Amino acid sequence: MSALAALRAALGDIVDVSEASLEEARADRSGHAAVGRPLAVVHAETVEHVQQTMRIATETRTPVVIRGAGTGLAGAANAGTGEIVLSMRRMTRIHEIRADDLLAVVEPGILNADFNAALAPHGVWWAPDPASRDISTVGGNIATGAGGLLCAKYGVVRDAVLGLDLVLADGRLLRLGHRTVKGVTGLDLTSLVIGSEGTLGVVVGATLKLRRLVPGATCAIAAGFPDARTAAAASAAVTAAGIQPAIMELMDAAALAAVHALLSLPAPVAGSAQLTIQTDGPAARDEADRIAEILAAHGGTVALSDDPAEGERLLAIRRSMHAAMAALGTTLIEDVSVPRSALPAMFDEISRIERAYGLTIPTVVHAGDGNLHPNFIFDGPDVPDHVWAAADELFRAAIRLGGTLTGEHGIGTLKSRWLAEELGDDQWRLQRDIVRVFDPAGILNPGKVFPAHA
């Protein structure tokens, strides 16, 4: 029996072979698509559906691509010829909310924003805050090791997960991690799975670490600078002073101009960059005043507001970045991280690459943690060779400065060719061997993260 026939016999109507679903599953928000069409989309609704799918896939040696909302930016959830798409979007249940123990147990398909809306009446929240929070799933965040605007103060996904329920390639169900504050029994397989991009198993449940809602007001700061390097130096000075804002975002001149155009806002001063900062908690105003002094001392034109609506307006400008880039053309949205003190030097490298390749590279930065998102804009569906060459130089520059290829988007297909360069051959091979232990048949997300390595 073929894989498709077996899936239909076992799972019935949740097996989707419509042209629209198959086409949608080929691509994510990176703008890049897999070659060919997948075999089928399985809209799993229960853990048993996932287990049945994986047993059939193992028996028939059919590759499986796990997919959430498709908001990824590295091509990790793109499915091509002959692959089964295992969609988790219908698995949205919240099994437990334990405000007393500061944990919740959820299924992977729930959206970040919906999850936090459900938590709010209990006086708690889940801290990971990607810019795509309204449309991205908790399971997708776990698969990519997502970050976001708040992670400098409140941590990334890896800091907010206690345990995972994982279905292996052969259909076995593992329960990883713990529900306790402390837990060091054996190897930390939970952390290993976070950020593994669907190569180790299918996350079907997550025990998540919650936080109490932050008491007190918030303060917002908008600071204009003559250029991005000066703004980066100012943000590094805030960090060096020991102040920890909840949010500290940097938009360079090209990014800021694009967002203002998209939102029909007055054009910013030519060449200017902007820092958008939010402080929270009982000391929010005192911290904001100290930050404002530092920014002014570094050449910033500073405006401070206690008005929550003004703070949300400023953050809405930042959150519109992806839409603004999409309005300019096809976008390769990149994601490198450097030590925060190296941000000015990284902007020097971006300027050098722009001059060398005749490009404008609009860049937005999670300045609180040193995570940059340079954007390469071009026409047509395929990345031109000179853009890949410029991206190659950018990746190598980040690594030279003590940084990394990706802070939160993952490797997927778009960065797999550079992975061994950062890890080194020995670590690359060790990680690839670990993947084979979890998935001996090599059917989970083949070709993603770890392609055939020369």
Average pLDDT over residues 325-354: 95
Please provide residue 436's backbone torsions phi and psi, each rounded to the nearest 5 degrees. -65, -30
The pLDDT of residue 451 is above 90: no
Q: Output the pTM of the full model.
A: 0.93
pLDDT in tens, 131-160: 777 889 999 999 999 988 898 899 899 999
CA distance 11 to 44: 9
What pLDDT is recorded for position 452? 59
Residue 433 DSSP label: H
Q: How many CB atoms neighbour CB 383 within 10 A?
A: 16
193/172 Cα distance (integer angstroms): 15
Distance from C-alpha of 255 to C-alpha of 360, rounded to nearest angstrom: 10
Q: Domains in the chain and their CATH numbers?
A: 3-87 (3.30.43.10), 94-212 (3.30.465.10), 218-400 (3.40.462.10)
- What tens digit of pLDDT does each residue of 402-428 get? 999 999 999 999 899 999 999 999 999
With 60 as the cut, is the pLDDT of residue 216 above it?
yes
Q: Compute the residue count for the chain.
A: 454
* Each residue's pLDDT tens digit, 342-376: 999 999 999 999 999 999 999 999 999 999 999 99
**Which backbone phi and psi does 145 adopt, to 5 degrees?**
65, 45
389 or 269, higher pLDDT = 389
Q: Which of 71-75, 250-254, 315-319 has the highest mean pLDDT?
A: 250-254
Evaluate whether 191 touches 206 at the Cβ level (below 8 Å): no
Alpha carbons 146 and 194: distance in angstroms, whole number: 9
- Is 69 within 8 Å of 142 (Cβ atoms)? no
Q: Per-residue pLDDT for 63 more than 60?
A: yes
State the pLDDT confidence band at 454, using cuts at 50, 70 and 90.
Answer: very low
Query: What pLDDT score was predicted for residue 270?
Result: 84
Q: Do 208 and 104 form a contact (C-beta atoms < 8 A)? A: yes
Where do runs of H (alpha helix) occur along 12-76? 19-24, 47-60
